[in-house]
A and B are shown apart, each in its own frame.
Chain A
């Protein structure tokens, strides 16, 4: 080994390259750790959301049951009685049905008692029909 070799001045380019390489390696390392951390954080976030969703689904099922109970005919009847509303269904004879004029209703659906008296068509209509 030559002990008397001359040492030249440090070149800026070399130093810069070395520093840049070190920064890159450190950056990659830090980035890796940061990314891992982010993955774990996101995992925790997802877990929390999953738990929240599950809880909401459970609550939803519970509320659906409660709603069904409140909408059940027996419950509604009970409430009507409690409030003394006196609500009763009308009887068929208390219902007045309004019929659409037309051949279908006249021949098929209109009861005899409710059938409107036959009215002659206006002459103009007859004429139009002939044309």
Chain B
């Protein structure tokens, strides 16, 4: 070969290589410079994955730390029928006992067309582990958060429930949702070719924060007592509905709040909306004779009457403003004390007439009727207390007996608490405190006095009169609590349907004990009890007695001495 031929060949190789490398260079410039942004982002996307982790929703506990609601992680068992279909019978046979499902149902699901079928939700971790150990191909698991209420229907109206997104819908779950909800975190991770995370290459990690735990003032045992006794009353008297509230008059703490009909917060959808309503805060009704505590305490507080002042109760029929007001029994002259424990409508009306409408209205507002109590539950209503300008001639005689006014059970409870507690109207407390996962207190609530409705003197005088209600002299001898000195007031209010009074009644009793230094107060109200008796004393009174006795024993309340008779005599 001639040198020129060598040179030509060498030139061709050099040019070829140069061209080749030039093409590669151009491509490299294209990939690394011109398309850098898009390709870098795509590479990052292929490599990295952002995993969001939701913080666990906080727990709800009772005052003693007993668990009332918590969140747990469960599994949804799914399957890919395209993988399993040929062995559907074998797989179904293995899964049926673990999933507690019928084999035929499973076979049908596993033979369905497509790549995804949900076999069962809310499968606990242990069962999921057992299924995993079977090493069945095509069986997959998805995470699912489940809000669990271990006590079932206990305190369901207080706790409320959450929706499918784990957001509070009702009760404490809704009102304390911000505290209970955790904060989500995220991780930027890289996976290997099997899809497993390479932990060493975790790029960024912001841990989730679990929600705070909410500690209620409710006591699980007292709640159980209230629910059990209410259930018994429902079975005995067959009312349409019933409520029991147990509270501490001195602090306004709610120890129990029970409603019937009720629902299971684990399965809220299975109960009608009517059963899910918290009647203690959302139902208004005329309070009936329990409202006499307002007019009598007001008159005593103003010094317009004393417990011994006597009023003519007109033998049971009192004509005023063209309408006759009746008493359940005909009475003659009754003292204010007797008006209270005999529950005379005419007597209460005459006390109110002596007070005058302005003073009566003043006490209606002092006891905060017509306003929300501010309890930490959603859906509270303010009740109806007409302004003085809307009163008619009859109002002054009807309001004292609990007509022309509508209140919620919680309002009436707080009013009675004020009478028991030296005239101090307390705000109802349901949330004791909010703590983080380490138990550090984040938020704490304490007793909050809303107003001083009456003086301690008037309070003692009222208690002196109300102590006689659960005695053979009073309207509720069946409300007496063995071993304790209790005080209270009965109420029997006619129901209004379509704007007219009908022969249906709200029977109620609100009381407290020990009368001289109240530790607990209890409201019992039954809506339209069936049977012979419908009076508050005979229907709600025994329920009060049963609840009070058990709660007093549980709380080891000392059966205290009654007021010193000399002290009471000096106050009269």
Task: Please determine whether chains A and B interact with each other in the same assembly.
Answer: yes
C-alpha gap A40/B198 in the complex (Å): 8
C-alpha gap A46/B200 in the complex (Å): 9
Q: Known contacts A61-B71, A69-B150: does B559 contact A111 (CB below 8 Å)?
A: yes
Q: Known contacts A40-B200, A62-B72, A65-B67: does B483 contact A91 (CB below 8 Å)?
A: yes
B552 at interface (Cβ–Cβ under 8 A)? yes
B568 at interface (Cβ–Cβ under 8 A)? no
B473 at interface (Cβ–Cβ under 8 A)? no
Cβ B124 vs Cβ A109 within 8 A:
no
Which residue of B70, B125, B151 is within 8 Å of A64 (Cβ)?
B70
Q: In chain B between 531 and 558, which residues have their CB closer than 8 angstroms to a CB of chain A?
A: 549-550, 552-554, 558
Could you tell me the dominant secondary structure of chain B's interface residues? mixed
Which residue of A39, A66, A92 is within 8 Å of B552 (Cβ)?
A92
C-alpha gap A62/B201 in the complex (Å): 32
Cβ A92 vs Cβ B67 within 8 A:
no
From A4-12, A18-26, A71-79, A122-130, the one touching the partner chain is: A71-79
Cβ A62 vs Cβ B124 within 8 A:
yes
Chain B residues in 8 Å Cβ range of A40 = 198, 200
C-alpha gap A89/B482 in the complex (Å): 14
Which residue of B72, B199, B202, B559 is within 8 Å of A92 (Cβ)?
B559
Which residue of B154, B221, B561 is within 8 Å of A112 (Cβ)?
B561
Chain A residues in 8 Å Cβ range of B198 = 40, 43
Chain A residues in 8 Å Cβ range of B220 = 72-73
Cβ B482 vs Cβ A92 within 8 A:
yes
Q: In chain B between 64 and 91, which residues have their CB closer than 8 angstroms to a CB of chain A?
A: 66-68, 70-73
Chain A residues in 8 Å Cβ range of B306 = none
Which residue of A42, A50, A68, A89 is within 8 Å of B67 (Cβ)?
A68
Cβ B66 vs Cβ A44 within 8 A:
no
In the assembled complex, the CB of A58 is this many whole angstroms from the nearest CB of chain B, namely: 4
Q: In chain A between 46 and 102, which residues have their CB closer than 8 angstroms to a CB of chain B?
A: 46-47, 50, 55, 58-59, 61-62, 64-69, 71-74, 89-93, 95, 97
C-alpha gap A22/B361 in the complex (Å): 101
C-alpha gap A91/B481 in the complex (Å): 10
Which residue of B68, B202, B553 is within 8 Å of A90 (Cβ)?
B553
Residue of B nearest to A115 (CB): B561
C-alpha gap A74/B152 in the complex (Å): 10
Could you tell me the dominant secondary structure of chain A's interface residues? helix
C-alpha gap A92/B103 in the complex (Å): 57
Chain A residues in 8 Å Cβ range of B559 = 92, 111
Chain B residues in 8 Å Cβ range of A74 = 151-152, 154, 224
B236 at interface (Cβ–Cβ under 8 A)? no
Interface readout for B187-215 with A: 1 if CB under 8 Å, 0 if not? Answer: 00000000001111110000000000000
Cβ B73 vs Cβ A89 within 8 A:
no
Chain B residues in 8 Å Cβ range of A111 = 559-561
C-alpha gap A89/B554 in the complex (Å): 9
B141 at interface (Cβ–Cβ under 8 A)? no
B331 at interface (Cβ–Cβ under 8 A)? no
In the assembled complex, the CB of B251 is this many whole angstroms from the nearest CB of chain A, namely: 20
In the assembled complex, the CB of A39 is this many whole angstroms from the nearest CB of chain B, namely: 5
In the assembled complex, the CB of A80 is this many whole angstroms from the nearest CB of chain B, namely: 13
B484 at interface (Cβ–Cβ under 8 A)? yes
Cβ B151 vs Cβ A92 within 8 A:
no
C-alpha gap A91/B220 in the complex (Å): 21
B49 at interface (Cβ–Cβ under 8 A)? no
What is the number of residues of chain B that contact chain A, defined by CB distance less than 8 Å? Answer: 38
What is the number of residues of chain A that contact chain B, defined by CB distance less than 8 Å? Answer: 35
Residue of B nearest to A59 (CB): B125
In the assembled complex, the CB of B81 is this many whole angstroms from the nearest CB of chain A, namely: 28
C-alpha gap A74/B554 in the complex (Å): 15
Residue of B nearest to A41 (CB): B200
B148 at interface (Cβ–Cβ under 8 A)? yes
Chain B residues in 8 Å Cβ range of A72 = 66, 150-152, 154, 220, 224
C-alpha gap A58/B481 in the complex (Å): 46
Point out which of A62, A64, A67, A91 has the most chain B C-beta atoms below 10 A from its C-beta: A62
Cβ A58 vs Cβ B549 within 8 A:
no
C-alpha gap A90/B554 in the complex (Å): 10
Point out which of A46, A91, A92, A109 has the most chain B C-beta atoms below 10 A from its C-beta: A92
Chain A residues in 8 Å Cβ range of B150 = 65-66, 68-69, 72
Interface readout for B131-151 with A: 1 if CB under 8 Å, 0 if not? Answer: 000000000000000001011
C-alpha gap A74/B151 in the complex (Å): 8
Cβ B483 vs Cβ A93 within 8 A:
yes
Q: Known contacts A73-B220, A74-B224, A92-B549: does B148 contact A65 (CB below 8 Å)?
A: yes
Cβ A73 vs Cβ B200 within 8 A:
no
Q: Known contacts A40-B200, A91-B549: does B73 contact A58 (CB below 8 Å)?
A: yes
Cβ A89 vs Cβ B553 within 8 A:
yes
Q: Known contacts A44-B199, A64-B70: does B484 contact A97 (CB below 8 Å)?
A: no
Cβ B200 vs Cβ A43 within 8 A:
yes
Cβ A39 vs Cβ B558 within 8 A:
no
Chain B residues in 8 Å Cβ range of A47 = 197, 199
Residue of B nearest to A54 (CB): B73
Chain A residues in 8 Å Cβ range of B221 = 73
Cβ A68 vs Cβ B199 within 8 A:
no
Cβ A89 vs Cβ B199 within 8 A:
no
Chain A residues in 8 Å Cβ range of B484 = 92
Cβ B553 vs Cβ A55 within 8 A:
no
Chain B residues in 8 Å Cβ range of A44 = 199-200
Which residue of B73, B151, B481 is within 8 Å of A69 (Cβ)?
B151
Residue of A nearest to B143 (CB): A58
C-alpha gap A96/B10 in the complex (Å): 119
In the assembled complex, the CB of B426 is this many whole angstroms from the nearest CB of chain A, namely: 23
Given contacts A58-B125, A92-B484, 11 further A-B contacts (CB under 8 A): A42-B200, A47-B199, A59-B125, A61-B73, A62-B124, A68-B150, A72-B66, A74-B154, A92-B482, A92-B553, A108-B561
23 A-B pairs, CB-CB below 8 angstroms? Answer: A42-B200, A43-B198, A43-B201, A46-B199, A55-B125, A61-B56, A61-B73, A65-B67, A68-B68, A68-B150, A72-B66, A72-B151, A72-B220, A74-B151, A74-B224, A89-B553, A91-B483, A91-B553, A92-B484, A92-B559, A97-B558, A108-B561, A111-B561
Binding site for A on B (CB under 8 A): 56, 66-68, 70-73, 124-126, 148, 150-152, 154, 197-202, 220-221, 224, 481-484, 549-550, 552-554, 558-561
Listed from nearest, the 6 A-B pairs whose CB atoms lie closest are: A92-B483, A43-B200, A43-B199, A68-B150, A73-B224, A68-B67
